[in-house]
Chain A
Amino acid sequence: MTRLTHNVLIVALAVMLAGSALPAQSPALSGQTPALSVPYTQFTLPNGLNVILHRDTSVPVVAVNLWYHVGSANERVGRTGFAHLFEHVMFEGSMHVPEGSFDTWLEAAGANNNGSTNTDRTNYYIDLPANALELALFLESDRMGFLLDDKAPGKVDGQRDVVKNEKRQSVDNQPYGQAFVELSSLLYPPGHPYSWPVIGSMEDLTAASFEDVARFFRTYYVPNNASLVIAGDIDLANTRKLVEKWFDDVARGKPVEPLATPTAVLDGVKRKTITDRVQLPRLYLAWHTPGLLKPGDATMDMVANLLSSGKNSRLYRRLVYDLQIAQDVAAFQQSQALGSNFIIMATARPGQDLGKIQAVIDEELDQLRAEAPGGREMTRALNQTEASFYRNMERVGGFGGKADQLNAYFKAAGTPDFFDQDLARYRTVTAAEVQAAVGRYLPKDRRVELSVIPGDKK
């Protein structure tokens, strides 16, 4: 339907760049299909704003996609959830845009828009009919350059209430909602930027002040810490002129230093059991794995595919299909800039216990450690991944559309048209590498084991 939310997408980047997972050689789709390519024009304004243009005239729509290279990892202890709260304030108007007009003007032009925050970045999109491009540039440049006016403190209070209800809806009132909060604090030492959830805590959301907003804005929401993609039915030369017109008067900020955070490690098994008002127990296993686009990242995506994608995947087949002791199982590589996590989760069927489920998972991991996967299994996963790359190129706008992907690649790889190189990461993973990666990154004696069992809500 339409945007009714400005949401937190915690695993957006992982999903966007990985889709599922994949492996190597044999009668793959490759060879029959042309190289993936998204032609683009790139330039940088004097204030440091990176601009990427891509023309696609298949529908008369333009996607304006803006990334600020700041996420919850940039927050400080005592102000968790702030990057996301700030994202909400960005929709409440700016110096030349009265409160409420951001959305009103866009809807009157037939546009949809939204934003999301994860650990590493905050993204905003406006999808609109091609004739309305300049309206989006006016609105984006105004909130980049002139967000704070005398009405801003009241806007922070209003969105604080909304965000608290987002937390109630998406975490507190969700079965097993506390599990990922627990996983973050079990995986990372106190003070590590990934040790708190993107949504933050109620206390910290209450404590956030207008002064925090002003400082955050001046530090991170500067053109030299942002990248703007405009994709769709555009004229390249004219669009460049319009971008210069609207963004040239936005002031450059101080350089944003990259986060220097030591790699988190686990030196043993961290076990915890929590209770929730649920009918069925659920098990979570979690490890530290290579960061986004680092060597091993694509391999772990492939491991995830082999474990839980489709009925023939190893964990699904054992736990859900054959033994029927689990209602569901999922394995995924949550790729993040400062280091990723590999997570396996499974929900017990009525009357089944988590110990048995964990034992089966360990049997399957042992099996992969002992023997490289077969050729057909690898090819099946690669073919699924290749097809998902094509499907991801069908849509220009929104979360995960081409414009968003160009920005994701620009931030993570330094080049927007990284589609074919990204796919090549998967094409070159070998069965032996999969086997070795399970041995190296998913050790039985260094991981988090979290159980959620029926009881009172914690």
Chain B
Amino acid sequence: MMKALTLLVTLVASVSLVAQQPDRKQPPPLGPAPALKLPAIQKHQLSNGLAVWIVEHHEVPLAQINLIVRSGSAADPIGKYGVGSLTAAMLDEGAGARSSLEFADAVEFLGANLSTSSSFDASSIRMSVPVSKLAEALPLMSDVALRPSFPATELDRLRKERLTSLLQARDNAGALVQLAFPRIVFGPTHRYGTSANGLPATIEALTVDDLKTFYRSHFRPDNATLLVVGDLTLSTALPMLEQAFGGWKADGMVSLVAAVPNAPQLTTRQIYLVDKPEAAQSQIRIGWVGVSRATPDYAVLEVLNTILGGSFTSRLNQNLREKNGYAYGASSGFDRRLSAGPFVAAAGVQTDKTADALREFFNELNGILTPVPADELAKARSYVALGFPGEFETTGDMARKLEELVVYNLPDTTFSNFVPSVTAVTAADLQRAAARFIQPERMAVVVVGDLKLIEGPIRALNLGPITHVPVDNLFR
């Protein structure tokens, strides 16, 4: 059997000698990288002043329409955390003349996808639809944006759904750490310290009036932008958009939302433990208050984080996964919002290696403070800069990129300037930024896992004072 196989190999090899022989001694040289070519953003205003941005994208007969309202969960009043998120979720639960079920049927019948959601910084209605159905779909979208009816029965249904989801979060170490980490870094009163959806007590108490108040204050044409990307032209799209959204009038007074203040920075390293008996892995989060989207160090931090934990070959992933096998993956990231969001380094690690993994996390967080070798810097710069054009591929991708400009009030040149600014990042830039934004001796360490197995070894590391956080505290 083996003999036959060998014979075949010989035969094929002799044939291929005639062909061009590859040189496998080193990787092939690469030609010059393609430049980023961005299509023009065509900016207009409807008769009511609503800003409309259109990007033509003639590849697949689809249109992506995103209405972005520049207020999100960060605009939730104290005591009503979750109202912005629930308002967004309720927009398509009855709108115009249609009930929740009628509306869903109408959208699906057109082959459209329509979603309503919110982040801390914005609320969004996003629709993807075959261009042949755009004229029929736009009135549905404008019903959701302009004429939501907020039926009480639907609110009660969504409320129960959200309360049940929070109950289910107790099952999952990953869900628990998502609640615990921001609570610890930002505290219980700063808006970023509580999940956008809110917690049981506030969700229980929210009323239809609360939602209508949030809606009236923020969903208005002078606080919104309509983004249109797809297989259409300006001249065909504008009349349809005018008809659907041109009659939208602001109601009452403008209530421009100021960004929430930055949370006070952490000062000493502390360890917080949440018990999850029998957990096969411990969920680890290490971090503190990071930076806002407006940071002048945006490009520098992209490169810095790529090296630390933002790519497969990053130091954290190489250490915890490839070198030590403690984890399936490890990562880090800056969540940049209108105000300073969290910086976090994260992994799920096998229970019996939890303390070892924490030690390696801090080896890497400390290691990034020393000068980064030139080849590692070059690799990270190239990875970020050369991968950037791929972020504009689909109608949905393009619309999401435009959202960044709208929500963070960035100039149109943001994207064309990004690649040159990444390419210009130096090792000195990285060291300066790391010294300021990565201070391991001041970070919070949050671990959700089986404390009877992991607490002793964690204590032995002597990282800092240890606090037990009861699971119930994460839900109030």
Residues of B165-189 whose CB lies within 8 A of A: 165, 167-168, 170-174
The answer to whether A104 and B313 touch across the interface, beta carbons within 8 angstroms, is yes
CA distance A217 to B279 in the complex (A): 35
Residues 32-66 of chain A: 1 if any B CB is under 8 Å from the residue's CB, otherwise 0? 11100000000000110000000000111100000
In the complex, what residue of chain A is closest to B93 when comparing beta carbons?
Answer: A311
How many contacts A-B (CB < 8 Å)? 257
CB distance from B255 to the nearest CB of A (A): 33
The answer, yes or no, to whether B418 is at the interface (CB within 8 Å) is no
CA distance A452 to B24 in the complex (A): 53
Q: Would A279 and B170 be within 8 Å (CB), given that A158-B325, A310-B108, A327-B161 are in contact?
A: yes
Q: Chain B contacts of A112 at CB under 8 A? A: 387, 390
Q: Would A349 and B59 be within 8 Å (CB), given that A1-B333, A386-B111 are in contact?
A: no
The answer, yes or no, to whether A107 is at the interface (CB within 8 Å) is yes
Q: Would A394 and B60 be within 8 Å (CB), given that A134-B28, A168-B280, A244-B19 are in contact?
A: yes
In the complex, what residue of chain B is closest to A166 when comparing beta carbons?
Answer: B328
The answer to whether B62 and A46 touch across the interface, beta carbons within 8 angstroms, is no
Choice from B19, B110, B281, B396 contacting A165 with Cβ under 8 Å: B281
The answer, yes or no, to whether A76 is at the interface (CB within 8 Å) is no
The answer to whether A312 and B9 touch across the interface, beta carbons within 8 angstroms, is no
CA distance A96 to B27 in the complex (A): 9
The answer to whether A165 and B349 touch across the interface, beta carbons within 8 angstroms, is yes
The answer to whether A2 and B312 touch across the interface, beta carbons within 8 angstroms, is yes
The answer, yes or no, to whether A11 is at the interface (CB within 8 Å) is no
The answer, yes or no, to whether B278 is at the interface (CB within 8 Å) is yes
Residues of A371-413 whose CB lies within 8 A of B: 376, 379-380, 383-384, 386-387, 390-391, 393-397
The answer, yes or no, to whether B115 is at the interface (CB within 8 Å) is no
Q: Chain B contacts of A107 at CB under 8 A? A: 311-313, 379-380, 382-383
Residues of A88-142 whose CB lies within 8 A of B: 95-96, 100, 103-105, 107-112, 127, 129-132, 134-135, 138-139, 141-142
The answer to whether A312 and B278 touch across the interface, beta carbons within 8 angstroms, is no
The answer to whether A387 and B111 touch across the interface, beta carbons within 8 angstroms, is yes
CA distance A78 to B171 in the complex (A): 31
Residues of A228-242 whose CB lies within 8 A of B: 233, 241
In the complex, what residue of chain A is closest to B106 when comparing beta carbons?
Answer: A380
Q: Chain A contacts of B393 at CB under 8 A? A: 58-59, 61, 394-396
Q: Chain B contacts of A280 at CB under 8 A? A: 164, 167-168
The answer, yes or no, to whether A248 is at the interface (CB within 8 Å) is yes
Residues of A255-314 whose CB lies within 8 A of B: 277-280, 309-312
CB distance from A331 to the nearest CB of B (A): 16
The answer to whether A5 and B5 touch across the interface, beta carbons within 8 angstroms, is no
CA distance A392 to B425 in the complex (A): 37
The answer to whether A108 and B383 touch across the interface, beta carbons within 8 angstroms, is yes
Q: Would A5 and B329 be within 8 Å (CB), given that A165-B349, A169-B348 are in contact?
A: yes
The answer, yes or no, to whether B374 is at the interface (CB within 8 Å) is no
The answer, yes or no, to whether B100 is at the interface (CB within 8 Å) is yes
The stretch of A170-178, A357-365, A420-428 in contact with B is A170-178
The answer to whether A47 and B31 touch across the interface, beta carbons within 8 angstroms, is no
CA distance A162 to B323 in the complex (A): 10
CA distance A397 to B27 in the complex (A): 22
For A5, A129, A280, A393, the residue with the greatest tally of chain B CB atoms inside 10 Å of its CB is: A129
Q: Chain A contacts of B437 at CB under 8 A? A: none
Q: Chain A contacts of B160 at CB under 8 A? A: 324, 349
Q: Chain A contacts of B348 at CB under 8 A? A: 165, 168-169, 173
The answer to whether A161 and B317 touch across the interface, beta carbons within 8 angstroms, is no
The answer to whether B16 and A249 touch across the interface, beta carbons within 8 angstroms, is yes
The answer to whether B167 and A245 touch across the interface, beta carbons within 8 angstroms, is no
CA distance A47 to B360 in the complex (A): 46
For B62, B157, B313, the residue with the greatest tally of chain A CB atoms inside 10 Å of its CB is: B313
The answer, yes or no, to whether B310 is at the interface (CB within 8 Å) is yes
CA distance A134 to B277 in the complex (A): 50
The answer, yes or no, to whether A79 is at the interface (CB within 8 Å) is no
The answer to whether A100 and B280 touch across the interface, beta carbons within 8 angstroms, is no
CA distance A1 to B109 in the complex (A): 33
CA distance A132 to B278 in the complex (A): 47
The stretch of B41-49, B124-132, B218-226, B428-436 in contact with A is B124-132
Secondary structure dominating the interface of B? mixed
Q: Would A249 and B383 be within 8 Å (CB), given that A4-B331, A33-B132 are in contact?
A: no
Q: Would A312 and B104 be within 8 Å (CB), given that A131-B31, A162-B328 are in contact?
A: yes
The answer to whether B132 and A251 touch across the interface, beta carbons within 8 angstroms, is no
CB distance from B236 to the nearest CB of A (A): 15
Residues 10-24 of chain B: 1 if any A CB is under 8 Å from the residue's CB, otherwise 0? 001101100111101
Choice from B170, B278, B322, B382 contacting A158 with Cβ under 8 Å: B322
The answer to whether B132 and A29 touch across the interface, beta carbons within 8 angstroms, is yes
Q: Chain B contacts of A277 at CB under 8 A? A: 171, 277-278
Q: Would A4 and B19 be within 8 Å (CB), given that A174-B172, A349-B160, A376-B109 are in contact?
A: no
Q: Would A129 and B349 be within 8 Å (CB), given that A134-B30, A251-B8 are in contact?
A: no
Q: Chain A contacts of B327 at CB under 8 A? A: 162, 165, 169
CB distance from A92 to the nearest CB of B (A): 8
The answer to whether B389 and A61 touch across the interface, beta carbons within 8 angstroms, is yes
Q: Chain A contacts of B389 at CB under 8 A? A: 59-61, 129
Q: Chain B contacts of A127 at CB under 8 A? A: 390
Q: Chain A contacts of B30 at CB under 8 A? A: 109, 131-132, 134-135
In the complex, what residue of chain A is closest to B103 when comparing beta carbons?
Answer: A311
23 pairs from A and B in contact (CB 8 Å cutoff): A33-B61, A47-B12, A58-B393, A61-B393, A104-B379, A129-B390, A132-B386, A162-B325, A168-B280, A168-B348, A169-B327, A174-B172, A245-B19, A278-B171, A279-B168, A279-B171, A310-B105, A312-B105, A349-B160, A387-B111, A390-B130, A395-B394, A456-B278
Can you add 11 more A-B contacts, CB < 8 Å, to A135-B27, A254-B5? A1-B331, A95-B24, A100-B322, A109-B30, A110-B382, A134-B30, A168-B348, A173-B281, A277-B277, A311-B100, A456-B278
Q: Which B positions have Cβ atoms within 8 angstroms of A?
A: 4-5, 8-9, 12-13, 15-16, 19-22, 24-25, 27-28, 30-35, 37, 59-62, 100-101, 104-105, 108-113, 128-130, 132-133, 157, 160-161, 164-165, 167-168, 170-174, 277-281, 310-313, 317-318, 321-322, 324-331, 333, 348-350, 378-380, 382-383, 385-387, 389-390, 392-396
Q: Which A positions have Cβ atoms within 8 angstroms of B?
A: 1-5, 29, 32-34, 46-47, 58-61, 95-96, 100, 103-105, 107-112, 127, 129-132, 134-135, 138-139, 141-142, 146, 158, 160-162, 164-166, 168-170, 172-175, 218, 233, 241, 244-246, 248-249, 251-254, 277-280, 309-312, 317, 321, 324, 327, 347, 349-350, 376, 379-380, 383-384, 386-387, 390-391, 393-397, 456-457
Q: Which 9 A-B pairs have the closest CB atoms?
A: A110-B386, A161-B325, A387-B111, A60-B34, A175-B171, A4-B329, A172-B280, A383-B111, A96-B24
